[in-house]
Amino acid sequence: MPGTFIDVEVAGEIRDDAEIAKKLEDACPVDIFAARNGQVEVVEENLDECVLCELCIAAAPPGKVRVLKLYDGSALTKR
């Protein structure tokens, strides 16, 4: 279940990439991402702590992580 204000989409092709999982975990200041068993895990209970810093988007390959703003229907993505 997504957060009230924010949801995060991670492309399937990077979910099993241990290096990217670690980068996302290290980049997020509010612990939305966890690197568990070499996979990217979204920590759903932390979703609404998102500060829209875009550090996860910068850490991931272009277009592979999207932060969805549920309150206005827009998304943050790397261009």
Contact by Cβ (8 Å): 39, 48: no
Q: Which of 41, 11, 23, 58 is closest to 77 using CA atoms?
A: 58
pTM attached to this predicted model: 0.90
DSSP state at residue 61: P
Q: Tell whether the model's pLDDT for residue 20 goes beyond 60.
A: yes
Q: What is the pLDDT of residues 42-76, one digit of tens each?
A: 999 999 999 999 999 999 999 999 999 998 989 98
